[in-house]
Every structure is written in structure tokens, then in C-alpha cells.
């Protein structure tokens, strides 16, 4: 019986391990030169889209695509399109993280599952509060969305209720960052680097 | 007697309202606690990731010299780019420089008007010693029609 249970979950475990190892690989070995050399695009918006997608897809480590976004914005690209392509890419990438979390929900320990269920039930009971929190997190926080999307995937909180507000928040953040970069590149360089 | 009944009903209603208020307050308190806990965990987690990124030089690796702009002048072995402002940057092409356009590695294909992203350190004179140059389509990249090109 126990053996059957393990066999049943092997594909999910393999999927999670694949994502973790891919993220570790990017974390340990990726550099902007290698990535940009590898991504064979002829359009700068496609470049930031692919970078943001990979950044969203890799779990926990990610790719700091914001730095390339700043470079492209200061180089003369349209901040609105830059923000749009970045937010679209990162949300598509984060969808895979949500999926990994969702698949992992059956194999997490009971205690953690209990905590996540409290959050989920709370979110379903008050349907406006968590989406508002996700929007604010996406629009104000420069950090990765992985913590949010994976934990919501683990708790099996509805996909669209996480992704739509978080995506809109990311759109606000990336457009604002691109605009800010065009206005205050030197100041930003001093803060970020 | 009637007055007593009215009083009793009123007191029941007050007690119900009080219960509702209490339940609402408790629910609000729970909401605040859950959101505060989520924010705290997210911040701590991201702060740890940021610290690890700084310690392992991961972020510095990504924050290294990268420049984007339009080629406005070509010279033998170097060219000049201009970004959004009037600031100009001289880029040196060395034997180690790799020039990419799409999936191909090319040579001698840089032209005035090309938009390029360049990676490489600055030398003592403030010129970029290019290691990688990627050429983008010469058309105006702010055109939304370019946005939907397939990435590969």
C-alpha cells in the first residue's frame, strides 16, 4: 500500500526535483552574457520577455532580469512596452511555479498543510483581501513572487485569484521601474549596484 | 407585561449585535494577523535570498557592465553608442568580442543605426571592452508590431 503511494507520487516528486535542479543550475552558473548570447532573439522586447519568463520559472533563485530592464530602458526603449513584456513573461513563468506548488500540495507534511488551509479558507471567506494583498505585493515589492505563488499553489488557492492581481501588480512595478530608470539612472545605479 | 417583552427583545437584539460586532472584530484581527504573518515570512525569505545572492556574488555577476543604445558612429575597431540621454559611450571591439544577431555569430556586421546590447568592463579611459554584442533589428524597437515576433 505504502509502495503504491510512493509510486503514485513519483512523477510529482520528479517534477519538483526538476524545477529545483534547474533553478540551482541557473543560480550557480548563469550570467547575463551567457543568457543573452543563448537567447537568440532579434527584438529587445522579446529578450526581456524571455529573461523574465526564465526568471519567473526558476524557483527561488531566479534571474535578476530587473537589471537588464533598467539597461534597456535607459538605452531608449519604450518603458511601457518594456514593463508589459516583462510582466507578461514573469507571470507566465510564475504560473509554472504555482503548478509545481499545486502538485506538491499532496506530499507536504500535515502541519504545514494545516497552516496553508487556514490561509486558503480565510482567503475564500474574504475574497477581496488576499487578491488586494497580492496586488500590493506585486506592485511594491522588488522581490521574487515565488514565495507567494508556491505557497498559494500548495494551499490550492484558485489560480486566477492569485495570478491576475499579482500580474497587475507586477505590471505596475515593472512599468514604474522602467520609467524611473529613464529618469534617474545614475541614482538607481548607486542604490542597486 | 408588553413592556417587559419589548425590553427582552431589545436586550436580545443588543446582545446579537454585540455578538456580531465581536465576531467581526475577531475576524478582522485574524485577517490582520494572517496578512502580517504572510508579509513577515515573505520579507524574511526574500531578505535571506538577497543576502545569499550578495554573498555568493550572484547579483554582482548580473549587475556587471551592460549597456544598451544605438550606434551613432563607426570607427576602425570601435564604435560609439548613445542611449536615451546625450551621453555617449565608446565601445572597443577586440579579438575576444562575440557579435550575435539572432542565433548566429557574425563578424563585421555592425552598422550605424543598429541598436545593440553590450557586455564588458570599462577600461581606465571609460571605454567598454566588449565581450558580447547582440544586435537587435534596426527598425524602431518601440514599434508594438515588433513585440509579437517569435522569440526564437
Edge to edge, the sheet with strand B88-92 lists: B104-106, B98-101, B132-136, B115-119, B66-75, B78-82, B88-92, B128-129
Q: Residue B76's pLDDT is what?
A: 82
SS3 B69: strand
SS3 B109: coil
What average pLDDT does chain A have?
Answer: 83
SS3 B86: coil
Q: Residue A177's pLDDT is what?
A: 92
Higher local confidence (pLDDT), A38 or A169: A169
Higher local confidence (pLDDT), A134 or A32: A134
In whole angstroms, give the CA distance from residue B35 to residue B55.
30
pLDDT at A134 over 80: yes
Indicate yes or no: CB of A31 within 8 angstroms of CB of B61: yes
Among candidate residues A191, A145, A177, the one with its CA nearest the CA of residue A71 = A177
Identify the band that residue A193 occupies on the pLDDT scale cut at 50, 70 and 90. Answer: very low
Indicate yes or no: CB of A122 within 8 angstroms of CB of B115: no
Instruction: Identify all chain A residues contacting B100, using CB atoms and an 8 Å cutoff.
Output: 37, 40
pLDDT at A83 over 90: yes
Higher local confidence (pLDDT), A131 or B19: A131
Q: Residue A186's pLDDT is what?
A: 58
Indicate yes or no: CB of A74 within 8 angstroms of CB of B68: yes
Indicate yes or no: CB of A44 within 8 angstroms of CB of B115: yes
In whole angstroms, give the CA distance from residue A94 to residue A106.
20
Identify the band that residue A55 occupies on the pLDDT scale cut at 50, 70 and 90. Answer: confident
Q: How many CB atoms neighbour CB A103 within 10 A?
A: 18
* Averaged pLDDT in 10-residue chunks for chain B of 152 residues: 68 66 72 76 78 72 80 90 83 90 84 90 89 79 50 48
Indicate yes or no: CB of B69 within 8 angstroms of CB of A76: yes
Q: A76 vs chain B: nearest CA distance in angstroms?
A: 4
Q: Residue A91's pLDDT is what?
A: 94
Identify the band that residue A2 occupies on the pLDDT scale cut at 50, 70 and 90. Answer: low
Q: Residue A10's pLDDT is what?
A: 82
pTM of the model: 0.78
Asked whether the beta carbons of A149 and A165 are under 8 A apart, the reply is no
Among candidate residues B139, B124, B131, B133, the one with its CA nearest the CA of residue B74 = B133
Indicate yes or no: CB of A63 within 8 angstroms of CB of B62: yes
Give the CA count within 13 Å in the CB-facing half-sphere of A166: 27
Cell of A84: 508589459
- Closest alpha carbon within chain B to A59: B49
Crossing angle (nearest 10°) for helices A110-125 and A129-140: 100
In whole angstroms, give the CA distance from residue B45 to residue B60.
20
In whole angstroms, give the CA distance from residue B83 to residue A139.
27
Cell of B105: 555569430
- Tell me the backbone φ, ψ of residue A31, rounded to 5 degrees: -140, 160
Q: Residue A155's pLDDT is what?
A: 87
Chain Cα centroid distance, residue B25: 39
Instruction: Identify all chain B residues contacting A58, using CB atoms and an 8 Å cutoff.
Output: none
pLDDT at A86 over 90: yes
In whole angstroms, give the CA distance from residue A141 to residue B43.
9
- For chain A, the straight-line distance linking the first and the last C-alpha, in angstroms and rounded, comes to 55
Q: A41 vs chain B: nearest CA distance in angstroms?
A: 5
Instruction: Identify all chain A residues contacting B117, using CB atoms and an 8 Å cutoff.
Output: 36, 44, 47, 71-72, 75
Amino acid at each position: 500500500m505504502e509502495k503504491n503511494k510512493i509510486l503514485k507520487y513519483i512523477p510529482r516528486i520528479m517534477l519538483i526535483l526538476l524545477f529545483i535542479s534547474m533553478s540551482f543550475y541557473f543560480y550557480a552558473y548563469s550570467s547575463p552574457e551567457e543568457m543573452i548570447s543563448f537567447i537568440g532573439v532579434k527584438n529587445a522586447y522579446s529578450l526581456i520577455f524571455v529573461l523574465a519568463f526564465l526568471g519567473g520559472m526558476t524557483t527561488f533563485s531566479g534571474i535578476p532580469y530587473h537589471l537588464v530592464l533598467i539597461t534597456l530602458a535607459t538605452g531608449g526603449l519604450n518603458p511601457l512596452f518594456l514593463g508589459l513584456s516583462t510582466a507578461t513573461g514573469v507571470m507566465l513563468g510564475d504560473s509554472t511555479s504555482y503548478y509545481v506548488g499545486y502538485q506538491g500540495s499532496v506530499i507536504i507534511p500535515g502541519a504545514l498543510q494545516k497552516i496553508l488551509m487556514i490561509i486558503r479558507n480565510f482567503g475564500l471567506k474574504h475574497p477581496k483581501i488576499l487578491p488586494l494583498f497580492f496586488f500590493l505585493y506585486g506592485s511594491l515589492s522588488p522581490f521574487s513572487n515565488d514565495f507567494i505563488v508556491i505557497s498559494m499553489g500548495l494551499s490550492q488557492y484558485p489560480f486566477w485569484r492569485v495570478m491576475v492581481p499579482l500580474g497587475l501588480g507586477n505590471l505596475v512595478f515593472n512599468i514604474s521601474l522602467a520609467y524611473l530608470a529613464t529618469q534617474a539612472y545614475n541614482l538607481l545605479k548607486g542604490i542597486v549596484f | 407585561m408588553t413592556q417587559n417583552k419589548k425590553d427582552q427583545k431589545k436586550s436580545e437584539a443588543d446582545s446579537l449585535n454585540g455578538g456580531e460586532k465581536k465576531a467581526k472584530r475577531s475576524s478582522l484581527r485574524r485577517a490582520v494577523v494572517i496578512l502580517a504573518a504572510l508579509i513577515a515570512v515573505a520579507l524574511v525569505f526574500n531578505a535571506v535570498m538577497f543576502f545569499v545572492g550578495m554573498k555568493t556574488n550572484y547579483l554582482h555577476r548580473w549587475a556587471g557592465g551592460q549597456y544598451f543604445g544605438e550606434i551613432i558612429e563607426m570607427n576602425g575597431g570601435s564604435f560609439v553608442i548613445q542611449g536615451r540621454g546625450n551621453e555617449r559611450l565608446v565601445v572597443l571591439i577586440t579579438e575576444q568580442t562575440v557579435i550575435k544577431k539572432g542565433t548566429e555569430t557574425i563578424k563585421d556586421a555592425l552598422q550605424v543605426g543598429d541598436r545593440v546590447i553590450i557586455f564588458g568592463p570599462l577600461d581606465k579611459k571609460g571605454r567598454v571592452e566588449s565581450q558580447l554584442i547582440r544586435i537587435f533589428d534596426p527598425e524602431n524597437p518601440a514599434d508594438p508590431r515588433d513585440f509579437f515576433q517569435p522569440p526564437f
